[in-house]
A and B are shown apart, each in its own frame.
Chain A
Amino acid sequence: MNDLAFREPSFVADAVRIARKDLLIEFRSRSGFLSAAVFALLSLAIFRFSWDPTAVSSIDLAPGILWVIFTFAGLLGLNRSFNVEQVDRAMDALLASPVSREAVFAGKALGNFVFVMAVQLLALPTLALFFGLPVGPEWWGVLAVALLAGVGFVAVGTLFAAVASNTRLAEMLLPMLALPFFVPVLIPAAQATSSLLAGRPLSEVVPELKIMGAFDIVFVAACTLAFPFTLEE
């Protein structure tokens, strides 16, 4: 009389569950998010103090700063992606379960995406505040750019976090591996932000959005396919 009722594994449910688990762990320990948030805010303050307003206008300077900070705060979060699975080998239990490898990757990336966006939601208002930027409807465009950039960023970043977790120097290797890959996301993002904050209409940043969108599609697919190869089998 067996009454263990099972349901078939669902990619979405599995990924969401893994993301939720990671975010719950992050929320409980808090140190990762706090480090990234403090880093972002402190950096913004430092950049503000080292800026000579008579030489460069805030609208010219702020976008570049925003995206540099986004990158390094994001890297702080990405570094931690796989730590939690390695400490007590929890990953082994996950891999032995019916959950697919692709769902594990999607779950990890989703958790990282929430992390990165959370930091960004702190950084954007702070940027506006510190640099005296006007706040208007153009910021919705900036948010959209941030979302688009975030997807590509976490796809590549999560994959290389998985690669780096196999090495001796994981935390140092991750930036080295990932930064060249971030460039096709960061440069269009910075340029689009710059245009939008200067008041240009959304239609003018369509080329940037296209590159980011293409990058997102190509690399989300490629990294999902590549992820199983980062696991020893």
Chain B
Amino acid sequence: MTSVSMPETGTSVRRTMPALDWVLVLALLAVGGAVVRALVFTPADAMLGAVQRLLYVHVPSAIQGMYVACTIMAVCGGLYLWIKDERLDRIAESAAEVGFVFLSVVLVTGAIWGKSSWGTAWAWEPRLTSALFLWFVVLSYLVLRDAIENREARARLSAVLGVLALLLVPFIHMTVYLFRGLHPEPLALKPGKPDMSPEMLTTFLIANLAFMFLFFALVRVRYQWASMRDERAALEQA
């Protein structure tokens, strides 16, 4: 980690990202550990087969990507509109990007599972559909940010989108329940609530904790990167 002291102001600005962020490394180890436990130490579900193990990735990703990330985006956005603290905007931005990755994982694992269990890679069931639309919304959030150069406008406008996106979620849920698709819902569709043996439950909880850890570690790293970027931009302008 290198730091440089600026002569006039005396503040030190980190010029490069740390070579090794220990929090992130620990988080990755935790996730790795959860994966090992899931693959090696936990028996597969008798009914759904080995693919069911994707559950341990799919559901935690969904919880972090959908609920945690989007709540952070909306709450930080709303607070930003109120008190205009740039740090809130950076948190929202970081949560959005990391959340986008997690949401992509949800959709991909959902497709793999679906293909193997029900024969179809996609189904219009409430949670998957919500995940899909949230994926679109977070994507448009990121594209919006990219299209605005003015720092203040970028924070303000994406905060508006973030808050409205949270309002949208219940309506998407309601709409999907209403939707009469061309094929009936798969009967064995339970990405979140299969009956689990105690071992499976433990693995499930461990996986959730590991992914939560990973999410926050990634957001933290991304936030640091954003802080550096903003400081550098401010120095260039001054």
Contact = CB atoms under 8 A, between A and B. Distances in A.
B140 A177 contact: yes
B153 interface: yes
Contact of A167 (B144, B163, B167, B179): B144
Contacts of A215: 171
Interface string B79-97: 0010000000000000000
B174 A167 contact: no
A167 B161 contact: no
Contacts of B81: 229
Interface in A178-233: 179-181, 183-184, 187-188, 191, 207-208, 211, 214-215, 218-219, 222-223, 226, 229-230, 232
Contacts of B133: 180, 183
A229 B156 contact: yes
B25 interface: no
A166 interface: yes
Interface in A122-163: 156, 159, 163
A226 B74 CA distance: 13
Interface of A is mostly: helix
B168 interface: yes
B175 A188 contact: yes
B159 interface: yes
Given A176-B140, A187-B178, A181 B147 contact: no
A207 B148 contact: no
B159 A191 contact: no
Contacts, number: 84
Nearest to B134: A180
B60 to A, nearest CB: 24
A89 interface: no
A232 B161 contact: no
A173 interface: yes
Contacts of A191: 178-180
B131 to A, nearest CB: 12
B77 to A, nearest CB: 10
B46 to A, nearest CB: 38
Nearest to B152: A232
Interface string B132-163: 01001101100110011100110011011101
Contacts of B48: none
A181 B178 contact: no
Interface string A31-62: 00000000000000000000000000000000
B83 to A, nearest CB: 13
Given A180-B168, A183-B133, A191-B180, A211 B174 contact: yes
Contacts of B152: 232
A163 B174 contact: no
Interface of B: 81, 133, 136-137, 139-140, 143-144, 147-149, 152-153, 156-157, 159-161, 163-164, 167-168, 171-172, 174-175, 178-180
Interface of A: 156, 159, 163, 166-169, 173, 176-177, 179-181, 183-184, 187-188, 191, 207-208, 211, 214-215, 218-219, 222-223, 226, 229-230, 232
Given A163-B144, A226-B164, 6 more contacts: A166-B157, A173-B147, A176-B140, A188-B178, A229-B81, A232-B152
6 contacts: A156-B164, A177-B140, A211-B171, A226-B164, A229-B81, A229-B159
